[in-house]
Chain A
Amino acid sequence: MTLTADGHVPTISLDGVRKARGNLTQARIRWMILALVLGFGAVGGRLVQLGMVETDTTIEGQTRDAITATRPPILDRNGLEMAVDIRVPSLYAEPRRIIDIEEAVTKLRTVLPDLSEEWLRNRLTGDKGFVWLRRELTPAIEEQVMRLGIPGIDFITESKRFYPAMNEASHVLGSTNVDNQGIAGIERHMDTESIALLQELGLARGNALTPVELSIDMRVQHVMHDQLVDAMTRYQAIAAAGAMIDIYTGEIIALASLPDFNPNDPASALVKDTFNRVTSGIFEPGSIFKTVTLAGALDSGLVRITDDFDARYGVRFGRYTIDDFHGKHRILSLPEVYKYSSNIGTIRIMQAMGKDNYRAFLSRLKFDQRVQFELPEMRVPSVPKEFSEVGAATASFGHGLSVSPLHMLTAYAALVNGGNYIAPTLYKRSVAAAEPLYERVIQPQTSAYMRYLMRLNAISTGGSGSQMNKAAQGYRVGGKTGTAEKVVDGRYSSNKVTNFFASAFPLDNPRYAMVIMVDEPKAENPQSGTTAGWNAGTLTGRVVQRVAPMLGIAPDFEGLLDQQIVPPEVRRIFPEGY
């Protein structure tokens, strides 16, 4: 058997056996090389092909890990869960693996009748590798769908945020979207802070994260929320809000605003009027602002607590006269101005201080900027850059400027804690951690005066806080009422009011400050009124009565503690102190 080139068969073989064998070997080697080249070529081609494939980066195409991304649990200051992750099954389909679309549609609709037939058919048609059908279902539905046995339909476990307190702390917590990203409240803040980064790096996937501890005390939060809900029906108010702060650490102990929403159902947050009134609502604070004016005046040294002010006649500005509501129309001492909430007296006090000094004092208390706070829902207050004579006069009793209740809360905290402004926080913070952040705004002596004045307003006869004190007997609460008339059609209306009560307790050694707001309340019964003392005031009293024991404040009926805070110079005009 011989083989020569070109298929030309010679009649005589001249090659030797050895040469013929050599030719044969060479031919075999060539075939072998060809086979190898083809083999490697195929491998190389496949590699190039794989390199060309584009990966799907949308959420639907992501790996299991990314969508089970966890969020850390949120705990209140006592370790009670306020938000936890639960794992729930989500239904998806692989349209390219579905054999009979019509059958799949009919079968699926037996378990999930609310899915639109048309939508489902479109969803399942095509050559896609992954489409969501319905996310965050229950294990029972998972069981039923699995029993249908449709090929190309399966479940994946996803993390879903759950808020066991339902509506109670909705504005603090905010909510998350279906992809478990924070869209409001502290959840949103946490995302911008650290978790987004952790999730990006793949660290927050499927493993437990260190819980986040908030400053909220759920027991106090519950009482606050409960009482606000009660106030909404009791006074037929359109809204109510309240917040409590630890005056030394700036920790927010409770913060609630009604109407609210259920964070487990984020769509309910889109309903009108559910915004957070404490942080993102700005209001004319009304008379609760007099506390600020008096503190500024006393701190400037230009006004003393024993000074008298002429409140016999209204203050005239051109055509306008500013008068008192239920005025005494006599000469009032400074504590009396506060107690009777005299507009005239407050204007005189502000004028004694000087309007520019007064404006500077408001800046020192940070009334013209956003409060530094974790919640993303904040509004810039509206305070005029410079005061005219009239502007300063109206501002002294809380009109003509709009601030959030949170501004008032932090200001009150600073006024009673010895004069240190501390930015509020929703995270747990110790006094030691807060102290370096203190900014002195008034002298400790002025702060002591303010405590006395606030307590005076609660226990002295005729004081606007006496309604409040009835419920909270023994807990040494004091505060100031504020009834701000709303602007309706460009005029101040006397029957549409926003009522405030700003308070602090226990005033002999204060620890907590609170601001309560009731919007457009009506009289509870024919004997009561619509001014702040009747609603925001009594509401404050009821809240304190319930939370004081939780916060470790013992009641005291001796009156000795109240006497201790009376400044000696006041004794000259009121020997009995109150």
Chain B
Amino acid sequence: MIRQLNIFLICTSIVMLVGVYMLKFSIEGTAAERTQLQIHISEQEDDLTTLKADWAVLNQPAYVEPIVRRHEAELGVSQVQQKQFGSFADLPMRPAKPDSAAMDALFLAIDAGIDPIDAILELEGIE
């Protein structure tokens, strides 16, 4: 009886031992994988800091201005002047009611084949 129990216990311990060893190795595998990932993340973070620094440089006014200056002539841009600013108050108000007489005259003229815009275009030299 005791002998059988012993055999049973020995078998169980062997199975447990093998199980524990397998578990240990699989955990070691996972840990290695985790370390790999951590290194990878850390590398990517390092790259990210460099990219962010690049982005910050590209956004600096000190970086942008020389580019603008270089292309001033081609793009036809220049320093903004005070007179180029306007305000909403400067816009004329909408007329109280449409000038129907003038509109009628315009439509009649177009119907008759005379488009006032043609005269303007001709004057400007636009076909």
Pick from B20-28, B79-87, B104-112, B118-126 the stretch touching chain A: B79-87
* B80 pairs with A81, CB closer than 8 A: no
Residues of the B chain whose Cβ atoms lie less than 8 Å from the Cβ of A226: 62, 65
Segment 82-110 of B: residues with Cβ below 8 Å from A = 82-83, 85, 87
- A454 vs B42: C-alpha distance when bound (angstroms): 58
Given A162-B53, A164-B56, A164-B57, also A546-B45 (CB < 8 A) = no
- A221 vs B80: C-alpha distance when bound (angstroms): 18
* A475 pairs with B82, CB closer than 8 A: yes
Residues of the A chain whose Cβ atoms lie less than 8 Å from the Cβ of B46: 87, 157
- A219 vs B61: C-alpha distance when bound (angstroms): 6
Which of B59, B82, B85 is A81 in contact with, Cβ under 8 Å?
Answer: B59
- A119 vs B59: C-alpha distance when bound (angstroms): 42
Which of B42, B56, B79, B82 is A473 in contact with, Cβ under 8 Å?
Answer: B82
- A473 vs B83: C-alpha distance when bound (angstroms): 9
Segment 542-558 of A: residues with Cβ below 8 Å from B = 545-546, 549, 554-555, 557
The reply to whether the CB of B49 lies closer than 8 angstroms to some CB of chain A is: yes
The reply to whether the CB of B78 lies closer than 8 angstroms to some CB of chain A is: no
The range of chain B's interface size is: 20 to 34
The reply to whether the CB of B60 lies closer than 8 angstroms to some CB of chain A is: yes
Segment 528-568 of A: residues with Cβ below 8 Å from B = 545-546, 549, 554-555, 557
Segment 425-478 of A: residues with Cβ below 8 Å from B = 473-475
The reply to whether the CB of A35 lies closer than 8 angstroms to some CB of chain B is: no
Identity of the chain A residue whose Cβ is nearest the Cβ of B54 in the assembled complex: A164
* B82 pairs with A218, CB closer than 8 A: no
- A377 vs B65: C-alpha distance when bound (angstroms): 30
* A80 pairs with B82, CB closer than 8 A: no
* B82 pairs with A222, CB closer than 8 A: no
A208-250 vs B, CB cutoff 8 Å, 1 = contact: the mask equals 0000000000110111011000000000000000000000000
The reply to whether the CB of A86 lies closer than 8 angstroms to some CB of chain B is: yes
Which of B42, B59, B80, B85 is A554 in contact with, Cβ under 8 Å?
Answer: B85
Identity of the chain A residue whose Cβ is nearest the Cβ of B64 in the assembled complex: A222
* A80 pairs with B49, CB closer than 8 A: no
Identity of the chain B residue whose Cβ is nearest the Cβ of A222 in the assembled complex: B61
* A86 pairs with B61, CB closer than 8 A: no
Residues of the A chain whose Cβ atoms lie less than 8 Å from the Cβ of B52: 81, 84, 86
* B82 pairs with A84, CB closer than 8 A: no
* B60 pairs with A165, CB closer than 8 A: yes
The reply to whether the CB of A299 lies closer than 8 angstroms to some CB of chain B is: no
Residues of the A chain whose Cβ atoms lie less than 8 Å from the Cβ of B12: none
* B49 pairs with A165, CB closer than 8 A: no
Residues of the B chain whose Cβ atoms lie less than 8 Å from the Cβ of A43: none
* B56 pairs with A84, CB closer than 8 A: yes
Given A549-B80, A555-B82, also A166-B62 (CB < 8 A) = yes
Residues of the A chain whose Cβ atoms lie less than 8 Å from the Cβ of B82: 473-475, 545, 555, 557
- A166 vs B60: C-alpha distance when bound (angstroms): 10
Residues of the B chain whose Cβ atoms lie less than 8 Å from the Cβ of A162: 53
Residues of the A chain whose Cβ atoms lie less than 8 Å from the Cβ of B13: none
Interface centre among B45, B46, B83 (most CB of A within 10 A): B46
Size of interface on A: residues with Cβ below 8 Å to B: 28
A491-513 vs B, CB cutoff 8 Å, 1 = contact: the mask equals 00000000000000000000000
Which of A80, A85, A157, A555 is B59 in contact with, Cβ under 8 Å?
Answer: A80
The reply to whether the CB of B50 lies closer than 8 angstroms to some CB of chain A is: yes
- A223 vs B82: C-alpha distance when bound (angstroms): 17
The reply to whether the CB of A168 lies closer than 8 angstroms to some CB of chain B is: yes
* A164 pairs with B53, CB closer than 8 A: yes
Which of A81, A168, A221 is B56 in contact with, Cβ under 8 Å?
Answer: A81
Within the complex, the shortest CB–CB distance from B64 to chain A, in Å, comes to 9
- A549 vs B42: C-alpha distance when bound (angstroms): 43
* B65 pairs with A222, CB closer than 8 A: yes
Given A549-B85, A555-B85, also A168-B60 (CB < 8 A) = yes
Residues of the B chain whose Cβ atoms lie less than 8 Å from the Cβ of A223: 61
Residues of the A chain whose Cβ atoms lie less than 8 Å from the Cβ of B57: 164
Given A81-B52, A87-B45, A475-B82, also A218-B65 (CB < 8 A) = no
B32-69 vs A, CB cutoff 8 Å, 1 = contact: the mask equals 00000000001001100110110111011111010000
Interface centre among A162, A168, A223, A549 (most CB of B within 10 A): A162
Given A168-B60, A554-B87, also A86-B50 (CB < 8 A) = yes
Identity of the chain B residue whose Cβ is nearest the Cβ of A80 in the assembled complex: B59
Which of A85, A87, A157, A164 is B60 in contact with, Cβ under 8 Å?
Answer: A164
- A24 vs B122: C-alpha distance when bound (angstroms): 132
Residues of the A chain whose Cβ atoms lie less than 8 Å from the Cβ of B59: 80-81, 164
Residues of the A chain whose Cβ atoms lie less than 8 Å from the Cβ of B80: 549
Identity of the chain B residue whose Cβ is nearest the Cβ of A89 in the assembled complex: B46
- A226 vs B53: C-alpha distance when bound (angstroms): 22
Residues of the A chain whose Cβ atoms lie less than 8 Å from the Cβ of B55: 81
Residues of the A chain whose Cβ atoms lie less than 8 Å from the Cβ of B87: 554
- A519 vs B11: C-alpha distance when bound (angstroms): 94
13 A–B contact pairs at CB < 8 A?
A80-B56, A84-B49, A86-B49, A157-B46, A162-B53, A164-B53, A164-B59, A164-B60, A219-B61, A226-B62, A226-B65, A475-B82, A557-B83
Q: Which 3 A-B pairs have the closest CB atoms?
A: A81-B56, A222-B61, A164-B56
